[in-house]
Structure 1
Amino acid sequence: MLAALWRYRYFVMASVYGEMKGRFARSRLGLLWSILHPLAQAAIFAIILAEVLGTRLAGVEDKAAYPIYLLSGMAAWTLFNEILSRCLTVFIEYAPTLKKIAFPRICLPVIVWGGALLNHVLLLLAIVVVFLFFGHFPGIAWLSLLIGIVLISLFAFGLGLTLGIFNVFVRDIGQVMAVVLQLWFWLTPIVYPIEIVPDHLRWIINLNPMVALVGIYQDAMLLNRWPDFMPLLIPAALSIGFAAAAFAVFRRASPELVDAL
């Protein structure tokens, strides 16, 4: 499969560009919408929670700390959510293409992965501009975002590809995951700091691998602090494990995908 991806690398790159261009066809703002949507959602949360409800981060005096904390977490979650959601339905969306054109089917989720990474880079650039408006300048610890991007995208890709294959045969999986992702978002400290979670519920939060992964962004972008690598061991193992399992499941199910579609 890796050799096939390499042979079709130009097809993958052209498809990423074509998908991005087609997604915003006849739109005056085009690619900017992929940046404006998460920024608008974060701005709504920030205005309601920070300005109306007076939400503040403990131990941080900066008034812009909460919006920065929120934007950091939203950036990490947007990457995870886009890769997972698109991989979940990619084979169903491209069913006509799979039936008409012969190419390695593993290219489809990789195209989705590449498009999501491109969106994410543009979103980070937009967030930098917002941070500069707040007088918050990027530091050297921002380099740790590369670790976050790799682990989050690998985790989302592995989980999304596995569920996406099962979703071809059992369409209920896509419907269930729409609800699961909403619950998962609120079980991840993005809108709220983890310190406010009651002690008797903290164990639920600690079971969530996205807590440590989102924390990479929050530590780097808000506090200019490198992450603690010990809590990342389990999420890193899960990311590698899900990716390996996804390729194994895909290889086994690939001959039956088109028939099921």
Structure 2
Amino acid sequence: MSLKKRKEIKDLTKLTLEFAKRDLKSRYTGSLLGITWGFIQPTITILIFWFVFQVGFKSMPVDDFPFILWLMCAMIPWFFFSDSLNGATVSIIESSYLVKKINFKVGILPLVKICSSLFIHLFFIVFLFLMFYIYDYDFNIYNLQVLYYLFATIVLLLGFSYISASLNIFLKDVGQVVSMLLQFCFWLTPIFWSLDIIPSKYVFLIKLNPVFYITEGYRHTFIYKEWFWDKPNLTLYFWVFSIISFLIGIFIYKKLRPHFADVL
């Protein structure tokens, strides 16, 4: 790699992170608690689900693990995924003034939204470690696997984000469709319910959802102590799906990019 190319990548990385910090601050501009809301809202949602299902419905520990820990392991990556995709879908439209600048790399805008959500997600990963420590579960080698599943989530998000962000410029309904699909996906993903309640003949349909690989991966990392290569078929399916989605996203973006300024 040439020195010029490395400098360009370094500058783009710096610009992306700077924009991500600015985006995170701008989300809560004018509110009394500011950026703190980014941490309060997911926490309250987790507590509500915990109260409803453990206190209200008397949910028992899952596989001998406290329900709150089992729930958090799936809810935290889900928050990251849904928040990133919702933000990335409208990222180019929100920054339409930048699209018309000839030298600006529009392609970083979806990534900016992902990085912005990543800041909050990293906090909740630390919070998750703290919760396990409070419940007397020590750190183990399997916990390092969270970095792998974090990377897997970002790759999956990139493909979806370039598709939705590019199409949303020309079809304004895409943002609504993405929000609706995320709600649908939330209830079909075993986040607050166990896969064991599904008849075995339908389990494969649930596993076709790529988010299932992520949420279950976090549980394998923190609870079940299983490596991702212990499930080779599911891992292969996820990466084939993610790479194809990414290639489709890049293709759509490159095809539509020359027309962004005309529409915006």
**How does the TM-score come out when normalised to structure 1?**
0.89
Query: Counterpart amino acid of 1:99?
Result: K
User: Contact (CA 8 Å) 1:152, 1:213: kept in 2 or not?
Assistant: yes
User: Contact (CA 8 Å) 1:72, 1:221: kept in 2 or not?
Assistant: yes
* Worse-superposed segment, 11-20 or 198-207: 198-207
Match of 2:222 in 1: 221
**1:237 pairs with 2:237:** no
User: Contact (CA 8 Å) 1:39, 1:71: kept in 2 or not?
Assistant: no
Over aligned residues, Cα RMSD in angstroms?
Answer: 2.1
One of 48, 51, 76 as aligned partner of 1:44: 48
Q: Percent identity?
A: 23
Cα deviation per residue 1:114-156 (whole Å; 9 max; x = unaligned)?
Answer: 2122221111112223333333333221111111111111112
Match of 2:147 in 1: 146
Match of 2:256 in 1: 253
Match of 1:118 in 2: 119
Deviation at 1:72, TM superposition (A): 0.5
Paired with 1:35 and 1:136, the residues of 2 have a C-alpha distance of 24
User: Contact (CA 8 Å) 2:90, 2:168: kept in 1 or not?
Assistant: yes
Paired with 1:162 and 1:5, the residues of 2 have a C-alpha distance of 23
Paired with 1:222 and 1:55, the residues of 2 have a C-alpha distance of 18
Tell me the secondary structure at the aligned position of residue 139 of structure 2.
Answer: coil
Cα deviation per residue 1:1-57 (whole Å; 9 max; x = unaligned)?
Answer: x87654433322221222222223344544332222222111111111012211124
CA separation of 1:58 and 1:110: change in aligned 2, threshold 3 A: closer
Where structure 1 has 5 or more consecutive residues not aligned to the other structure, the ranges are none
Cα deviation per residue 1:88-139 (whole Å; 9 max; x = unaligned)?
Answer: 1111111133236741111211211221222211111122233333333332
Paired with 1:116 and 1:243, the residues of 2 have a C-alpha distance of 19
Deviation at 1:191, TM superposition (A): 0.7
Deviation at 1:198, TM superposition (A): 2.6
Cα deviation per residue 1:168-215 (whole Å; 9 max; x = unaligned)?
Answer: 111112112211110101111001011011335324213212212211
Q: How many residues align?
A: 257
**1:20 pairs with 2:24:** yes
Tell me the secondary structure at the aligned position of residue 90 of structure 2.
Answer: helix
**How does the TM-score come out when normalised to structure 2?**
0.88
Cα deviation per residue 1:213-232 (whole Å; 9 max; x = unaligned)?
Answer: 21110111223333334111
Where structure 2 has 5 or more consecutive residues not aligned to the other structure, the ranges are none
Within a 5 Å distance, the mapping from 1:1-261 to structure 2 comes to 5-60=9-64, 62=65, 64=66, 66-99=67-100, 102-227=103-228, 228-230=230-232, 231-261=234-264
Paired with 2:216 and 2:60, the residues of 1 have a C-alpha distance of 17
Cα deviation per residue 1:65-104 (whole Å; 9 max; x = unaligned)?
Answer: x111110101111121122111111111111332367411
User: Contact (CA 8 Å) 1:79, 1:153: kept in 2 or not?
Assistant: no
User: Contact (CA 8 Å) 1:159, 1:243: kept in 2 or not?
Assistant: yes
Tell me the secondary structure at the aligned position of residue 31 of structure 1.
Answer: helix
User: Contact (CA 8 Å) 1:15, 1:111: kept in 2 or not?
Assistant: yes
